[in-house]
Amino acid sequence: MALFSGLSAFPITPMTSGGEVIAPDLQRLVRRIEAGGADSVGLLGSTGTYMFLSRDERRRAVAAAVEVAVSIPIIVGVGAMRTDEAQALAHDAATEGAAGLLLAPVSYTPLTEEEVFRHFLAVASATDLPLCIYSNPGTTNFTFSPDLVARLTAIPSIAAIKLPLPANGSIASDLAAFRAAAPDLSIGYSGDWGCKEALLAGADCWYSVAGGLFPEQAAALTTAAMKNDRETAGHCDDVFADLWKLFREQGSLRLMYAAANLMGLTQAQPPKPLQPLEETLQARLARVLPNS
């Protein structure tokens, strides 16, 4: 299977209160993802709290993940505020054995399309690794238009895009617009509660938060949806229905830390200033976790 296709599972990055990666805990999560049947690990994405880690710790995380991944590729987030920092992170990821890169246009001042294009051009030049465009307007305040994506495909190493669920309109129409603009690009979606429909509509990849802790169940859903087996995909999605409700109400990040704690996979807490999930929500979460 191609790199940016199927199920890409995104784990948290367990770290100490001082921002040091807890390598054994991260490796435990990576092994679990591989054993569960995911097609790739999405390391240092938003769920992996990449912006809370120093360059050295991000490199340590890549090295730790690559060390234990026997047959599954590691896709590494390399977003940073400055272009030269993102280039350095891309070089580090390649040096440590990453198979691909994920790049969000991180900014404080909102970026123009020209600035984003030049940023991607520069970061892509830092390595030979295939690169996935990371569209996450909720954190970057930048929305990729189909026209910009079409322009970015002129950069040879750009191979994929990770899209959010559309705020307006159907997933099928959103996917069709990006397919028309960039027919050779792998197109995948995040926003776990909508990804069954995205895969049934013909998306190439599910970039999954839940897959970081529940890869077996997420892989079953992915396989069924990509085979257009709507009945089985529906049953697999139902396993997550109560968790999707919590995701939509609370966001997924604090929930995934709390779930990993409840499952005994790590005792790491979200990096401050983020706070752990409050007790009432922890109790609710414990009741809706898929069988693991």
42 within domain boundaries: yes
Is 241 part of any domain? Answer: no
Residue 217, CA atoms < 13 Å, CB-side half-sphere: 20
Q: Describe the crossing of helices 23-35 and 55-68 by its angle, rounded to 10 degrees.
A: 40
Tell me the backbone φ, ψ of residue 189, rounded to 5 degrees: -130, 150
What is the residue-level pLDDT of the chain in tens, covering all 292 positions?
689 999 999 999 999 999 999 999 999 999 999 999 999 999 999 999 999 999 999 999 999 999 999 999 999 999 999 999 999 999 999 999 999 999 999 999 999 999 999 999 999 999 999 999 999 999 999 999 999 999 999 999 999 999 999 988 899 999 999 999 999 999 999 999 999 999 999 999 999 999 999 999 999 999 999 999 999 999 999 999 999 999 999 999 999 999 999 999 999 999 999 999 999 999 999 999 997 5
What's 191's domain CATH number?
3.20.20.70
What's the rounded Cα separation, in Å, for the pair 102 and 115? 18
Task: Output the DSSP codes for 15-67.
Answer: B-TTS-B-HHHHHHHHHHHHHTT-SEEEETSTTTTGGGS-HHHHHHHHHHHHH
Please indicate, yes or no, if residue 41 is contained in any of the structural domains.
Answer: yes
Residue 281 in domain: no
Residue 273 lies in a domain: no
Q: Give the rounded distance of the alpha carbon of 26 from its chain centre.
A: 15
Antiparallel, parallel or unpaired: β 131-134 and 100-103: parallel
What is d(CA 290, CA 213) in angstroms, rounded to the nearest whole number? 10
Q: Which of 162, 189, 207, 257 is catalytic?
A: 162
pTM given for the model: 0.97
Q: Quick check: is 196 catalytic?
A: no
Domain total in the chain: 1
Tell me, yes or no, whether 288 lies in a domain: no
Distances (CA, A) of 121 to 78, 127, 152, 177: 14, 11, 8, 23
Question: What pLDDT sits at residue 1?
Answer: 64
- Answer whether residue 243 is part of any domain: no
Active-site entry in 50, 108, 134, 272? 134
Which structural domain, as residue segments, surrounds residue 173? Answer: 6-233
- Residue 134 known to be catalytic: yes
Tell me if 59 is assigned to some domain: yes
Question: What DSSP assignment string belongs to 215-255?
Answer: HHHHHHHHHHHHTT-HHHHHHHHHTTHHHHHHHHHH-SHHH
The dihedral formed by the CA atoms of 29, 35, 38 and 44, expressed in degrees to the nearest 10? 20
In whole angstroms, how far apart are CA 4 and each of 9, 204, 286? Answer: 11, 7, 32
